[in-house]
Structure 1
Amino acid sequence: MKFTELDLPQPVLKGIEAVGFTDLTPVQEESIPLALAGKDVAGQAQTGTGKTAAFLIALFTRLLQSKSKTSNNPRALIIAPTRELVVQIWEDAKGLGAFCPFKLQPIFGGVDYEKQRQALQDGVDVIIATPGRLIDYAKQGVFSFHRIEALVIDEADRMFDMGFIKDLRYIMRKLPPFEKRQTMLYSATLSHRVMELAYEFMDLAEKVSVAPEQVTAERVEQVLYHVGRREKFALLLGLMKKMEDPCRMLLFVNTKREAEHLTGRLKVNGYKAEVISGDIPQKKRMRILDDFKANRLHYLVGTDVASRGIHIDGVTHVVNYDLPQDPEDYVHRIGRTARAGASGLAISFADEDLVFYLSDIEGYIGFSIPAVFPENEDFCHDYKRYVPRKKVPADDRRRPAEKGRKPPRRRTGRSKGGTKPGGGSSAK
């Protein structure tokens, strides 16, 4: 089905044409007609299936039809669990809504507080936000929820995982009643707790499930290497040396410490890599992601905070340097590649510490990942060693000695008066 077959306003159609969309994806074909008819939608769809465009097209169409004026109280609200996802939705919204007269404003922590506050006071049609800072502005009276005509909750399952459910319920209780607004909810899994949220705050939501039997993206080639923990880096370098340039690779680990360590090892061996995790300041994270999108950076190492927040076309390889403990995280990680109809390769390392999670992952995705036992030529054993800098606690740091000044002599046990350690006097 083509977008021109839908009854869409001209500004929306022009935006769709400008970003190069022609045919609807399965999730768009099932959910957009329902949303255009005014129905609430609860959709199950993996990342990379076009769900963001699905809810943006329906949202813009509704706002154009209502013809309300812009004010400091928003008309639509999109809630997402991570800052990176907010930025990605905002960028997609600017493209699809380029010919619509809407003011879009992202709201999230880690960036200029007063600048976002002023933007809300100046007037906005659509807010795209993480829950925390949004509630902060609302409680201060910077804006009100009473004019909200449409609500979108993206990656609802992640809201639960990240502890946002209380904030989400607070927001939804401040909105107009569900019969006076339209709600669209999207989630990788429509679990019992997600559907409970839908039953409580949505108006008889139409459930849309796209290919539930196909949990992982069809165009992702998956391969698993059984390798010892101490040999993983040598295998990684050996595989990287065989890859064709240019490549754009995401590497996932389970801890922030391991992310920093792996990034250091890659840099020492000549690979331009950066780390993205929850400890990185927001401005630096955005700069790193911009470099990765612009192909100025080819290797990005991240924890699972990145697996849900990075939506970048053109990622050629995903490496699970550490197997994830949660099977759903495996799906979200490898979903960073093979987006928008492209193909991609997902490589996973199963070492002696993490191989125990493999059976749960394969049970969740419904098949066994093709396994390979690497040969000696697959390893790169002549790599450079990386020695991380030790962080010295502030209390242990000493001021450098002044130039020409000798360090103090250690005491030998004698006192000023010449008393020996045993208590006797040295005087004769």
Structure 2
Amino acid sequence: MTDTHLSQTRLDSLALDPRILAGLAETGFTHCTPIQAETLPIALEGHDIAGQAQTGTGKTAAFLLATMQRLLGHPAEPRDAADTICRPRALILAPTRELAVQIHKDALALGAHTGLRLGLAYGGTGYQRQRDELAAGVDILIGTPGRLIDYFKQRVFDLRGIEVVVLDEADRMFDLGFIKDIRYLLRRMPPPESRQGLLFSATLSYRVTELAYEHMNQPRLIKIETEQVTADRVRQCCYMTANEEKIPLLVGLVRGWLEGDARIMVFVNTKRAADRVWGYLQGNGVNTGVLSGDVPQKQRLRLLREFTEGSLPVLVGTDVAARGLHIPDVTHVVNFDLPEDPEDYVHRVGRTARAGAAGDAVGFVCETYAFCLPDIESFIGAKIPVEPVDPALLAAVDPGSRLRPERVRRDTRRSDERSSGDRARRPRGSETTTSTGQPSRSRRPRPAKPSPAESPASAASTDPAAAPAPQSPAPELAVTEAPRKKRRRRRRKPAANRGDGVQSPRPVEVEPVD
């Protein structure tokens, strides 16, 4: 039986390779979603596609199936044995690291029986490991623009063999400023007539459409229109709240939801606000993770894995976590800060009610971001029910219960320990080097002053009979203890002015050339 969000088109009815169908059978997919039913027949014929559909409707599987079928249906051309540089046949570009990791995970599942080699390149971690994997050779390369350009300029791989190029979440590429990097890569591939282009996004703006027509070969524009922009099964509401009531309201709502089997995502607009909300939730006994641009990449992936598995019930994040991530069973999405861009509201709300499930989206209409609500309602074409705050929902939050992010203190402590450790390991008077690599002159160690019990004066005062006659210090000690006079270098006069009989060389006269 198929779900209501699926179409009547079966995946095994399409012209797909049996090895791809085997991977689909293992993943449990049987029917196409609307965007897959519209785009796959056209893409499998070799046409370029610019597709738009709601988030969570299967766009990733659509371009992965089309890409794998293209590579399996057109075997790679033989190469010269001397040509050892990696030459991928397909390139998939994603705007964020998390989305690139997820695409790679889905590609491994769908292409388990195809024999296609997959490569992944994204910033923040694994630089040398990723470089070695690409150098060994891949068929499908998935990554973010920055790390890909870095490896490309090092000639780890080239783009002359690209047969399929995919741009996922193309509108987000513009928002993050990647469009110059995208054009840099596209211009180093074969011409649009010699490759297949697939562009997918939740929203197709005019600038994205212009990019499609500039770097694609007569793309087919496909839009899956729905009655409302947000997912059909999302129950939306807002609370009119003051700024000082937002934290107590959030803690009260989260505690009530966690009494059941809830998985909650809380969105804020800034990294500083993410740390603040995380601190209050964690300080009031709610196990929470924070996901923002300041969190190291390994920790971000670990938090996403724990949140997906259910061991971490609450995740606070910025719009880094609002695009393209497929996390099943997210029951509640809270817009702690209403986004200033209405499109971001659609992507945030799209983290719940995915793949035909139901979910709740709650927004806080506060004093700071209340002006965003009319724009959001105009964009989604619907009024969001606004409810007053019931005092029973406000939790008793101690102002001192907020925790500071441990990761910030840990990073600061590590940098301080490194700097202090370098100073401690360097002995006094040792030779150091300057920035040019030349040894620098260090000060000589000062001789230790004698203690009062060991000084000659103290000995004479204690035993006058045994007091020795004063002697002059040894010559070596006198030289060592004497302060060094700073020598002043005199400026030598030219030989012609010294009167020592040495003539200065005359300047060579050069005749002008006409």
Q: Same fold (TM over 0.5)?
A: yes
TM-score, normalised to structure 2's length?
A: 0.75
Distance in structure 2 (CA, Å) of the matches to 1:148 and 1:299: 41
Q: Secondary structure of the residue that 1:128 maps to in structure 2?
A: strand
State the distance in 2 between where 1:387 and 1:379 align.
Answer: 16
Contact kept? 2:91, 2:140, Cα under 8 Å: yes
Question: Hey, what's the Cα distance between the residues in 2 that align with 1:155 and 1:262?
Answer: 28
Letter in 2 for 1:54: A
Amino acid at match of 2:367: E
Q: Which runs of 5+ in 2 are unaligned?
A: 1-8, 79-84, 421-514
Decide whether aligned partners of structure 1 residues 192 and 378 sit closer, same or farther in structure 2, where only a CA change above 3 A counts: same
**Long gaps (5+) in structure 1:** 400-428
How big is the shift at 1:242? 2.4
Superposed displacement of residue 223, structure 1: 1.0
Shift of 1:187: 1.6
Worse-matched range after superposition: 211-220 or 343-352: 211-220
Q: 2:332 aligns with which of 317, 329, 338?
A: 317
Alignment of 1:237 with 2:245, yes or no, is no
Q: Does 1:29 align with 2:37?
A: yes
Q: Does 1:306 align with 2:321?
A: yes
Report the AA paired with residue 21 of structure 2.
Answer: L
- Deviation of 1:389 after TM superposition, in Å, equals 4.8
Within 1, Cα distance between the matches of 2:366 and 2:274? 17
* Alignment: residue pair count: 398
Q: Secondary structure at the match of 2:315?
A: strand
After superposition, residues 16-415 of structure 1 pair within 5 angstroms as 16-68=24-76, 72-211=86-225, 213-243=227-257, 244-381=259-396, 385-389=400-404
Q: 2:334 aligns to what SS in structure 1?
A: strand
Note if contact 1:304-1:329 (Cα within 8 Å) is conserved in structure 2: yes
Contact 1:269-1:384 at 8 Å conserved across structures = no
Task: Give the deviation of 1:214 after TM superposition.
Answer: 2.5
Quick one: which amino acid aligns to residue 10 of structure 1?
A: P
1:109-128 CA deviation, whole Å, 9 max, x = no partner?
A: 11121111111111100000
Which residue identity is paired with 2:45?
A
Would the aligned equivalents of 2:288 and 2:313 in 1 still touch at CA under 8 Å? yes
Q: 1:377 to 1:173 in 2, by over 3 A?
A: same
Q: Residue 285 of structure 1: CA displacement?
A: 0.7
Structure 2 CA distance for partners of 1:383 and 1:317, relative to 1, 3 Å: farther
Cα distance in 2 between the residues matched to 1:19 and 1:388 = 42
The question of whether the paired residues in 2 share the 8 Å contact of 1:154 and 1:185 is answered with: yes
Structure 2: distance between partners of 1:197 and 1:257: 34
Shift of 1:310: 2.8
Counterpart of 2:16 in structure 1: which amino acid? L
Runs of 4+ deviating beyond 4 Å: 387-397
Distance 1:76 1:382, change over 3 A: closer
3-state SS of paired residue (1:359): helix
Q: Which moved more, 1:380-389 or 1:97-106?
A: 380-389
- Secondary structure, aligned partner of 2:28: coil
- Which structure exhibits the higher relative contact order, with contacts defined as CA atoms closer than 8 Å and separated by 6 or more residues? 1
- Structure 1 range deviating more: 3-12 or 160-169: 3-12
Q: Which amino acid aligns with 1:34?
A: I
| CA–CA distance in structure 2, aligned partners of residues 183 and 382 of structure 1 | 53
**Percent same amino acid at aligned positions?**
52
Give TM-score scaled by structure 1 length. Answer: 0.89
| Deviation (angstroms), 1:212 | 5.1
Contact 1:263 1:275 in 2 (8 A): yes
